């Protein structure tokens, strides 16, 4: 649609590069979007609890939304709560994309009415449903806003070059592994390499600095143990002997601005 309105040069999603439509904004498979979705669902679940939603209702709403987003077959709903299975079936017919966009089945209000009566509360299912629609629109907006923030911060060629250089350096450090590191720093390698490389550039920079600093600290202590008289200003700098010096030179060259 943005291409049709000439608001964008391409229909590619700014997060994953796949063709984008309205549904894709909510169902993008980019790993970072899964993380955002998980945070939103966690907050949504807590909000549902705060407005005294029945436990079974919370479970099946979150379950259905998660299955819908992942394009998984819907699991068979089970509950002895009066009216809940009918509400789920009605929403299945309307669609869970429609649910996320605020079009909820009227049966939900009846289910909550009965729950509030059982709790002895004066709340009404109709008011609960109105609040639910507002909350769902907020979630949809948060996903749309995340998509726009990513688009605003598209990496430049220099950013991409730096990211690639940092990823090469991380792979090199991971190849060395825990070798030469004190045990207290072994935790830096608990996270899988694939997960580290999928992180933000800021996180990768921080991880790389911590590993290199830990190795340099160990090298200095080993050198001092062999010759305690060695204690120059250079001892406080990261060691770049051998292949590590070549690697550092490569990182420096990768982020140098290119002359026109």
End of a domain among 124, 152, 180?
152
* Pair 42, 117 in one domain: yes
* Pair 186, 244 in one domain: yes
Kindly state the helix (H) or strand (E) to which residue 159 belongs, with its residue range: helix 157-176
Report the percentage of the chain scoring pLDDT > 70: 70
* Pair 161, 148 in one domain: no
* Pair 119, 49 in one domain: yes
* Pair 146, 171 in one domain: no
Report the percentage of the chain scoring pLDDT > 90: 32
More confident call, 3 vs 26: 26
Model pLDDT for residues 130-164, shown as the tens digit of each residue:
999 999 988 888 877 766 666 555 555 566 777 88
Domain count for the chain: 2
* Pair 128, 203 in one domain: no
**Which residues are CB-contacts of 254 (< 8 A; sequence separation ≥ 6)?**
161, 162, 164, 165
Residue at token pair 């291409």: 3
* Pair 184, 95 in one domain: no
End of a domain among 136, 152, 168?
152
Q: Average pLDDT over the chain, rounded to whole?
A: 78
* Pair 242, 215 in one domain: yes
Spatial separation of the C-alpha atoms in residues 96 and 103, rounded to whole Å = 9
pLDDT at 96: 93
Q: In 3D, which of 41, 37, 38 has the Cα closest to residue 58?
A: 41
Q: Can you tell me whether residue 19 is helix, strand or coil?
A: strand
pLDDT at 130: 95
235: exposed, middle or buried (Cβ count in 10 Å: 0-12, 13-18, 19+): middle
End of a domain among 152, 168, 198?
152
Model pLDDT for residues 13-24, shown as the tens digit of each residue:
655 666 666 666
Model pLDDT for residues 71-111, shown as the tens digit of each residue:
889 999 999 999 999 999 999 999 999 998 889 999 999 99
Domain that holds residue 108: 22-152
Residue 37 lies in a domain: yes
- Mean per-residue pLDDT, 231-248: 50
């Amino acid at each position: 649609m943005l291409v049709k309105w000439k608001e964008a040069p391409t229909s590619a999603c700014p997060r994953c590069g796949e063709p984008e439509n309205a549904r894709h904004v909510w169902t993008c498979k980019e790993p970072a979007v899964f993380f955002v979705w998980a945070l939103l669902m966690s907050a949504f679940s807590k909000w549902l609890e705060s407005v005294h939603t029945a436990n079974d209702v919370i479970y099946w709403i979150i379950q259905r939304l998660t299955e819908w987003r992942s394009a998984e077959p819907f699991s068979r709903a089970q509950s002895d709560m009066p009216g809940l299975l009918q509400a789920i079936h009605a929403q299945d017919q309307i669609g869970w994309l429609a649910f996320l966009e605020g079009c909820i089945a009227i049966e939900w209000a009846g289910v909550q009415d009965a729950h509030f009566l059982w709790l002895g509360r004066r709340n009404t299912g109709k008011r609960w449903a109105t609040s639910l629609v507002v909350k769902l629109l907020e979630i949809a907006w948060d996903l749309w806003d995340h998509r726009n923030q990513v688009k605003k911060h598209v990496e430049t060629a220099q950013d991409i070059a730096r990211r690639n250089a940092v990823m090469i350096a991380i792979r090199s450090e991971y190849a060395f592994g825990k070798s030469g590191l004190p045990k207290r720093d072994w935790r830096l390698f608990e996270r899988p390499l694939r997960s580290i490389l999928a992180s933000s550039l800021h996180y990768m920079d921080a991880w790389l600095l911590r590993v290199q600093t830990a190795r340099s600290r160990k090298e200095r202590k080993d050198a001092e143990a062999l010759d305690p008289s060695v204690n120059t200003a250079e001892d406080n700098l990261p060691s770049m002997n051998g292949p590590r010096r070549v690697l550092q030179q490569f990182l420096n060259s990768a982020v140098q601005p290119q002359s026109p």
